[in-house]
Amino acid sequence: MEGQVVGRVFRLFQRRLLQLRAGPPQDNSGEALKEPERAQEHSLPNFAGGQHFFEYLLVVSLKKKRSEDDYEPIITYQFPKRENLLRGQQEEEERLLKAIPLFCFPDGNEWASLTEYPRETFSFVLTNVDGSRKIGYCRRLLPAGPGPRLPKVYCIISCIGCFGLFSKILDEVEKRHQISMAVIYPFMQGLREAAFPAPGKTVTLKSFIPDSGTEFISLTRPLDSHLEHVDFSSLLHCLSFEQILQIFASAVLERKIIFLAEGLSTLSQCIHAAAALLYPFSWAHTYIPVVPESLLATVCCPTPFMVGVQMRFQQEVMDSPMEEVLLVNLCEGTFLMSVGDEKDILPPKLQDDILDSLGQGISELKTAEQINEHVSGPFVQFFVKIVGHYASYIKREANGQGHFQERSFCKALTSKTNRRFVKKFVKTQLFSLFIQEAEKSKNPPAGYFQQKILEYEEQKKQKKPREKTVK
């Protein structure tokens, strides 16, 4: 049965479908559930606030297979339980819950009891048939207790992309897990009843912990919502600016990109960061931050993908039949495979602009928010310069439906190198999905990207009078 489920999940991936209330929780320790599978992300939805923080809290543990030395990951705790579902809803839930353990323990089934294990925080993305995405936020650690034991994973499933905020929630779950599973339930119930805050706002939860008393926990959502699922620090630690630029160039043309690293946290953070560089566009192809061992054949997929693979599977990846792949070794900071033209994809002048901006004042940055804005800014500016005039080339009918004038849009660029690049870029799914949304929208452009476009246009207006004065 496990093979059938894995097969179903893999077939979903091959079709570019990557990843993924209420009674009291039940601790099913030792008992599996009854048998019954975003990048911006199209981009992860830009939630205004108000909906639930999460859909599930799951505990995934390792259970020894019968008559074998290997272990398999199973869900041993689920909150909340969903009852009275329609048949179709129940089948969908069972498929998703069956797939989740694979992503909590992507490293395979060979485990041994441990006395020490460094905790790891990582995430994965699950895409449904309808294109909607759910994110799994994971904390893998050793349970409390004496002697050798096996790690377990706390996994929060949510449709909201906000890695830093959910990392803090996992800190609170871990603190309570040291006491008792029973202490986790009231905290998660309070969290579930709280509304997710709007960008820049804070929600405060009251939680009681035995022997410590009542605690007030503040959860603040970043003001700049397009970067709230991102931490560029790991990417900067592993790679040079030039390498990051080449990865960006490959992603812009929707090529196949594989990241290799030892740690789940490094893989997860670096692949999310790479996808975030595409803002305001969204990676719509296969996207797996950490590929489970049983799904390594994904790297043979003929369609575009962005995936992370643990270093222990490097040889298996290298031996796989692959074409036009950028294989990135995050441990060594090298490219093990490449197409060879990565440095020539983007217009030279705009490449230099990005590198110059990245190199300015990087040593003075202190907070994660400052680093994120510093790294993201030059890439947003690249898109502002290259496609920021898109709204002027959407003709609208009386009913508001728009039609993009591709040829006129490309011709509007005066630089030949920019025009040559854009003619390729407009054929990508990245651009097509973006323009389709703009064509359907009855409202004028708004948001962070539009703000940057207006700022750039104002700078150009101010620059022209100065140039005339100089003449």
Q: How far apart are the first and last CA of the chain?
A: 77
Name the residue among 371, 376, 409, 408 with its Cα closest to residue 390.
Answer: 409
50-188 and 230-348 share one fold = no
Give the pLDDT confidence score for residue 434 in this predicted structure: 95
pTM summary value: 0.81
H/E stretch holding 58: strand 56-64
User: Amino acid identity, residue 265?
Assistant: S
For residue 259, give the H/E element and its range: strand 256-261
CB distance 59 to 32 below 8 Å: no
**What pLDDT does residue 468 have?**
52
Q: Distance between CA 307 and CA 299 in Å, rounded?
A: 8
d(CA 364, CA 342): 30
User: What residues of the chain score a pLDDT lower than 70?
Assistant: 1-51, 67, 129-131, 223-225, 464-471
Torsion-angle region of 324 (φ positive above 0: left; ψ -120 to 50: alpha; else: beta): left
What is the topology classification, in CATH, of domain 50-188? Beta-Lactamase (3.30.450)
How many CB atoms are located within 10 Å of the residue 115 CB?
9
Q: Which pLDDT score is estimated for 35?
A: 28
DSSP 34: P
pLDDT of res. 8: 42
Give pLDDT, residue 199.
77
Closest CA to 57 of 151, 138, 163, 120: 138
Give 197-247 as a DSSP string.
Answer: PPTT-EEEEEEEETTTEEEEEEEE--SSGGGTT--THHHHHHS-HHHHHHH
- The domains of the chain are located at 50-188, 230-348, 366-461
Question: What pLDDT score was predicted for residue 417?
Answer: 96
CA–chain centroid gap for 119, Å, is 20
Which homologous superfamily is 230-348 in?
Answer: DENN domain, C-terminal lobe (3.40.50.11500)
Assess contact for 19 and 126: CB atoms under 8 A: yes
Q: What backbone phi and psi angles, to 5 degrees, belong to 261?
A: -160, 160
The token pair at 282 is: 């969204």
356-402 tens-digit pLDDT:
999 998 888 888 888 989 999 999 999 999 999 999 999 998 888 89
Under 8 Å between Cβ of 25 and 185: yes
